């Protein structure tokens, strides 16, 4: 079983839709949580960190449930420019803090 798992998608949604991505992790020694965005043939870029209390950045909301070992990303009012792959990333105390990536969820926003 992979340490960080995501639904690979693709998610095909119309502009203006709300879309939610889920991510689960299997190591209880979790430490930090992130969502990265990766455009086609480009490098991953940090979208947002995920805090225990949940956090919001404009149209993006991240939630963390440590008990269920579950992270989510909600995108409201999706734009064409949101089309990308969204990577769930977790670090674990017992792995020296290195980033463990999920396989990514592909989002395609259509006009």
Partner 1 sequence: DAMVIQNPRYQVTQFGKPVTLSCSQTLNHNVMYWYQQKSSQAPKLLFHYYDKDFNNEADTPDNFQSRRPNTSFCFLDIRSPGLGDAAMYLCATSALVVAGFQETQYFGPGTRLLVL
Residues that bind partner 1 (CB under 8 A): 8, 31-32, 41-46, 49, 87, 91, 93, 96-99, 101-104
| Shortest distance, position 53 Cβ to partner 1, whole Å | 18
| C-alpha span between 53 and 26 (Å, rounded) | 20
The least distance separating partner 1 from the CB of residue 46, rounded to whole angstroms, comes to 6
Cα angle value 60/63/65 (rounded, 5°): 170
Closer CB to partner 1, 98 or 111, in the complex: 98
Tell me whether residue 18 or residue 28 sits nearer to partner 1 (CB atom): 28
Which residue lies nearer to partner 1 by CB, 18 or 94? 94
Residues 6 or more apart whose CB falls under 8 angstroms from that of 81 comprise: 109
Q: How far apart are CA 62 and CA 73, in angstroms?
A: 5
In the complex, the smallest distance separating the C-beta of residue 77 from partner 1, rounded to whole angstroms, is 26
Cis preceding linkage at 103, omega within 30: no
């Amino acid at each position: 079983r992979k340490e960080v798992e995501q639904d690979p998608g693709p998610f095909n949604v119309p502009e203006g839709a709300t879309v939610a991505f889920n991510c689960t992790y299997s190591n209880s020694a979790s430490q930090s949580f992130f969502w990265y965005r990766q455009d086609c043939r480009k490098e991953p870029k940090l979208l947002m960190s995920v805090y225990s209390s949940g956090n919001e950045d404009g149209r993006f909301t991240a939630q963390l449930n440590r008990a269920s070992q579950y992270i989510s990303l909600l995108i409201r009012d999706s734009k064409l420019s949101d089309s990308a792959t969204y990577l769930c990333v977790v670090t674990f105390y017992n792995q020296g803090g290195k980033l463990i990536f999920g396989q990514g969820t592909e989002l395609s926003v259509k006009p």
